[in-house]
Amino acid sequence: MSRPMLSGDRVYRIHWVLGTDRLRAVCFCAADREFEDPIELWDWLLDHPHGGHDTIHEETSR
């Protein structure tokens, strides 16, 4: 039995990049970035502006 996928203004997704030690973070605003350090990943995700979807994260991959 499959469950419906969560959605909304505060849903964050973290994916393991297959075959690597990297994690891909996807913010609720659709910005995404890859990280090696999970602490940096969470800092980036939770540092989202409180003004809504009009401002998105800087999208520079490492």
Tens-place pLDDT, residues 1-58: 688 877 777 788 899 999 999 999 988 888 899 999 999 999 998 886 554 444 444 5
Q: Which residues lie across from 23 on neighbouring strands?
A: 16, 35
Residue 40: enclosing H or E segment and its boundaries? helix 38-46
Is the pLDDT reported for residue 61 higher than 80? no
Given this model, what pLDDT does residue 1 score? Answer: 67
Given this model, what pLDDT does residue 10 score? Answer: 75
